[in-house]
Chain A
Amino acid sequence: MTAADGHDGQTLAFELMSAIRRWSHDPGLATRTAKLSAEELAQREGWPREVAAAVVDRRLDELLARGVHPLMFVYLGRIYGFAVADRWREIERARETGPQHGA
């Protein structure tokens, strides 16, 4: 993330966490959000596409690296319907088997 994108890392992490919290406190919004593609989410929230993709693809590792507080993954799991521990295991497995398999 660069200043040219209009975000510094800390600001973006705050925006991400604020959005996840907002969605999680509004069940209707959470349901609608979970149906969005990365492109649609990026457009709606004004985020770079790769950031929206990290959310949609449930890339907890990428979100953590971007400064998102891990408690937010519990919230994200409720919105996207996944168990945090299971998702971490998937990500770890994908890392072990190589990037071509994705996460």
Chain B
Amino acid sequence: MVNVVAGLAVSHSSMMITNPDLVDDDQRTRVYDAYERAAELVTSRGFDRVVMFGTDHFNSFFLDHLPQICVGIAAQFDGWADNVPPMSAPGDAALGRHLAESLVERDFDVALSHSLRLDHSFFAPLSLLVPGLDVPIVPIVVNTLVEPMISMRRAYELGRAVGASLRGAPGDERILIVGSGGLSHWIGLKEQGTVNAQFDRSFIDHLCALDVEWLTSLTSERIEAEAGNGGQEIRTLVAARAAVGEASATSVFYEPVHGWLAGYSVIAMLSDSQ
């Protein structure tokens, strides 16, 4: 039986890879240490697959073709764009296919890609959490960039459906769920560099507590106002939390990291089942 053994909800930026010096040494060390601690926590659970909810920044998807949700089905995924060094990770095409089929059966009309390239949303955190990039992944790209976006309720339900689909999959894989996005940040706007720590901390508390009512009450308008256009990425974190389910969740780290333009959070979710 496939087992969801742990989950992580983490922030990302290309700059954490490409421009580390934009953040002072002490804070940068704290951020990297937090990712390392989180990696150690989940590694102790012995995962051998990563199912990852992430975003795209007009790199792989654009307004000519913009799915709300896309599942990657491939034996390898290459990273690109935003000056991030070339990286690649193996994929689990069979698990990706199973997820796509199961999600459609559960009324999620997901798009598929057999040649999906992934930007820093995936590879920035992945390169810190799985430094060898040697664990097969299944990426799920969620549109958090252009309205209309799926509601927070839908993001939560997507995560639940992914969790149920995985648990119903044949095989004995041990799955790490990762959500990569947020927290508050304003991209390209005059507020760029602003972080709303109050919103971020409140979100973290509600996410850890799996306060579904609060999380799903967030509208795009409220997120935009309180967490910025980049804050829309929290959909991936909610999906990851829902996919892991009733596991206990702990905030490993949170700080506003103005040099990298966002509130940075690392949340670990450890399932009771081993």
Contact = CB atoms under 8 A, between A and B. Distances in A.
Interface of A: 14, 17-18, 21, 25, 60, 64, 69-75, 84-85, 88-89, 91-92
Interface stretch (B55-63, B150-158, B176-184): B55-63
A64 B192 CA distance: 14
A69 B62 contact: no
* Contact-residue size bin, chain B (C-beta under 8 Å from the other chain): 10 to 19
Contact of B192 (A18, A72, A88): A88
Contacts of A64: 189
Contacts of A60: 188
B188 A84 contact: yes
Contact of B57 (A14, A71, A89): A71
A46 to B, nearest CB: 18
B225 interface: no
Contact of B145 (A71, A84, A88, A89): A71
A58 B229 CA distance: 21
Given A17-B58, A17-B63, 17 more contacts: A14-B63, A18-B63, A18-B64, A21-B58, A21-B62, A25-B81, A64-B189, A69-B58, A69-B145, A70-B187, A70-B188, A71-B188, A74-B188, A84-B192, A85-B193, A89-B190, A92-B190
Query: DSSP class of A's interface residues: helix, strand, loop or mixed?
Result: helix
A52 to B, nearest CB: 20
13 contacts: A17-B58, A17-B63, A18-B62, A18-B64, A25-B81, A70-B189, A70-B229, A71-B57, A71-B145, A71-B187, A72-B188, A85-B190, A92-B190
B252 interface: no
Contacts of B188: 60, 69-74, 84
B146 interface: yes
Contacts, number: 43
Contacts of B58: 17, 21, 69, 71-72, 75
Contacts of A88: 189-190, 192
Interface in B158-184: none
A27 to B, nearest CB: 11
A74 B145 CA distance: 14
The 9 closest A-B pairs by CB, nearest first: A70-B188, A73-B188, A88-B190, A85-B192, A70-B189, A71-B188, A85-B193, A84-B192, A71-B187
A89 B190 CA distance: 7
Interface string B176-207: 00000000000111101100000000000000
B12 to A, nearest CB: 14
B259 to A, nearest CB: 12
Nearest to B62: A21
A93 B58 CA distance: 30
A69 B188 CA distance: 8
Contacts of B81: 25
With most chain B CB atoms within 10 A of its CB, the pick from A21, A74, A92 is A74
B81 to A, nearest CB: 8
Interface in B45-71: 57-58, 62-64
A92 B191 CA distance: 12
Nearest to B57: A71
B15 to A, nearest CB: 11
